[in-house]
Amino acid sequence: MIDGKKVLFSGMQATGNLTLGNYLGALKNWLTLSDEYECFYSVVDLHSITVRQEPAELRKRARNLLTLYVAAGLDPKKNCIYYQSHVPGHAQLSWILNCYTYMGELNRMTQFKDKSSRHADNINAGLFTYPVLMAADILLFQADVVPVGKDQLQHLELTRDVAQRFNSIYGDVFTVPEPYIGKTGAKIMSLQEPTKKMSKSDENPNASILLMDDPDTIIRKFKRAVTDSEACICYREEQPGIKNLLDIYCTCSNKTVEEAVREFEGKGYGEFKLAVGESVVSVLKPIQDEFARLSKDKTYIDEIIKENAQKANYFANKTLRKVQKKVGFPEQIR
Ligand code: TYM
What is the percent of the chain where pLDDT is above 90? 91
Are 6-185+298-327 and 215-293 equal in CATH topology? no
| DSSP E strand stretches across 178-238 | 178-180
Whether the Cβ atoms of residue 241 and residue 233 lie closer than 8 Å to each other: no
So what's the pLDDT on residue 332? 85
Summarize pLDDT for 42-73 with one digit per residue, the tens: 999 999 999 999 999 999 999 999 999 999 99
Among candidate residues 6, 150, 200, 311, the one labeled active-site is 200
**Cβ(208) to ligand 1 under 6 A?**
no
CA-nearest residue for atom 24, ligand 1, is 12
16 has a pLDDT exceeding 80:
no
Alpha carbon 156 to chain centroid distance?
Answer: 12
87 has a pLDDT exceeding 90:
yes
Q: How many CB atoms lie within 10 A of CB 85?
A: 17
301 has a pLDDT exceeding 90:
yes
Eight-state DSSP code of residue 189: B
Regarding pTM above 0.75, the answer is: yes
Q: How far apart are CA 10 and CA 226, in angstroms?
A: 32
So what's the pLDDT on residue 120? 87
> For 74-93, what is the mean pLDDT?
98
In Å, how far are 107, 128, 167, 215 from 110, measured between CA atoms? Answer: 8, 11, 26, 34
> For 155-183, what is the mean pLDDT?
97
Phi, psi of 94 (to 5 degrees): -60, -40
CATH number, span 215-293: 1.10.240.10
Summarize pLDDT for 179-207 with one digit per residue, the tens: 999 988 999 999 999 999 999 888 899 99
CATH number, span 6-185+298-327: 3.40.50.620
Eight-state DSSP code of residue 201: T
In Å, how far are 25, 213, 231, 279, 283 from 270, measured between CA atoms? Answer: 25, 21, 11, 14, 21
Break the chain into its structural domains and give their ranges.
Answer: 6-185+298-327, 215-293
Mean pLDDT for the chain overall = 96
**Cβ(21) to ligand 1 under 6 A?**
yes
Whether the Cβ atoms of residue 80 and residue 308 lie closer than 8 Å to each other: yes
- pLDDT class for 314, splitting at 50, 70, 90? very high
Could you confirm whether 200 is annotated as catalytic? yes
Please report which residue ranges of the chain form alpha helices under DSSP H. 20-22, 28-33, 45-48, 55-71, 89-98, 103-107, 110-118, 125-140, 153-170, 215-223, 240-253, 257-263, 269-295, 298-327
309 has a pLDDT exceeding 90:
yes
- Cα-trace Rg, the chain: 21
154 has a pLDDT exceeding 90:
yes
Closest ligand 1 atom to the C-alpha of 150?
20
